[in-house]
Amino acid sequence: MNTDQFRVKEGTKLNLKDHDPAFSDGLKDKDDALEALQNNIERMTELQDMLYAQDIYSLLIVFQAMDAAGKDGAIKHVMSGVNPQGVSVASFKAPSAEERDHDYLWRHQKALPERGKIGIFNRSHYEEVLVVRVHPEILQGQQLPPEIKNDPDIWNKRFNHIRDWEQHLAENGTHIIKFFLNVSREEQKKRFLERIAEPEKNWKFSIGDVRERSYWNDYMRAYEEAISATSTDAAPWYIIPADKKWYTRLAISEVIVNRLESMNLHYPEITDAQREELIAAKTALES
C-alpha cells in the first residue's frame, strides 16, 4: 500500500474535498483486507518488542476525528497484538478544573509515552484548535488572561506552540504520527442511526453528538487549517479514509508499521563482559 497518498506534506494546504472517505484502493470487503491487517499486527508486535527492549525511542500516535468515525474500534483492532505493558492510551475529554488551571499542553505532556513505549492519544491537544475554535464560548471559559483569549491571532499562535512542542519531542526521541479519520457526513448519519436502532450500541449514542453534527462545515474548516499548519516532516498528519472501517484499520496499521520499520529498531547488543557473564551463568546452571 502506498501510504504516502494519505500523508499531508509539510507546507501544503489541505483540502478535504480531495480526499474520498470511501476510498478502499480497489479492495472489495473486509476479507480482502484481513490477511494484510493480520500480517501488520504481527509485525507490529515484533517491532514493539524491540522498541521496548531498546528503551530509547517512543512512538506517539494521535487520533482525531468527528464522532463515530471509528477511533475506538481502530485503536482496539490495530493495537490488538501489542504487549499491554508497552502501550498507554490517553483519552482526552473536556478538561477538568485542575487541568484548566494549567496551560493547555500540560495534560498532554503528562500523558506522553515513556521511552520504549507506544502512546495513543484518543483525541489530543488538537481539540484546542478544533472544538475550542468551533465553539468560541469554550475559549472564553478558559482561565486565560483576557488579552490572550481576545487575541485575533490566537489560532496561529497555537499552531506555532503545537508545532514547536512536537518538534521538541521529535528531537528528544519521540516519533509522532497523527491520524485524521475522514468519515463522510452521510456515513456518520448511518452510524448514529445504527447506534439508536441496536440496543447493544445505544450506550455509544449521545444526543450532544447530533448537535455537534450541525457544526460539520465549521469543523471541516478548522481541521483543514489545523492540519495544514501542523503537518510537518517530524510529525506528519495522515488523512485516513473512514467510511469503510476495515480499510481504515488496514491503512492505519500500514502507516504504523512503516514508521516503526523506519526507526532502525534492534535488540540491545551486549558487551563482551556481559557475554562472559552469560557463559558463566550457563556453566553454573548446568553443573
Point out which residues bind Mg ion (CB under 5 A). Answer: 67
Question: Does the protein bind ligand ATP through residue 128 (CB under 6 A)?
Answer: yes
Contact 192, 271 (CB under 8 A): no
Distance CA 21, CA 19 (A): 6
Q: Which of 21, 95, 236, 241 binds ligand ATP (CB under 6 A)?
A: 95
Cα–Cα distance list, 8 to 20, 89, 118 (Å): 14, 24, 22
Among Mg ion, ligand ATP, none, what binds residue 93 when CB lies within 5 to 8 Å by partner kind?
A: ligand ATP
* The C-alpha cell that represents 221 in the structure block: 474548516
* The C-alpha cell that represents 84 in the structure block: 499491554
Among Mg ion, ligand ATP, none, what binds residue 132 when CB lies within 5 to 8 Å by partner kind?
A: ligand ATP
Smallest separation, CB 67 to Mg ion (Å): 5
67 or 128: CB nearest Mg ion: 67
187-226 footprint of ligand ATP as x/- string (CB under 6 A): -------------------x--------------------
Question: Does the protein bind ligand ATP through residue 93 (CB under 6 A)?
Answer: yes
- Helix, strand, or coil here: 102? coil
HEC-encoded secondary structure of 175-237: EEEEEEEECCHHHHHHHHHHHHHCHHHHHHCCHHHHHHHCCHHHHHHHHHHHHHHHCCCCCCE
67 or 187: CB nearest ligand ATP: 67
**Residue 52 phi/psi, 5° resolution?**
-65, -45
Question: Does the protein bind ligand ATP through residue 132 (CB under 6 A)?
Answer: yes
Q: Which of 127, 187, 243, 254 binds ligand ATP (CB under 6 A)?
A: 127
Query: What torsion, rounded to 10 degrees, do the Cα atoms 11, 16, 17, 20 define?
Result: 120
67 or 254: CB nearest Mg ion: 67
Which stretches of the chain bind ligand ATP, using CB under 6 A?
67, 72, 92-95, 123, 127-128, 131-132, 138, 206
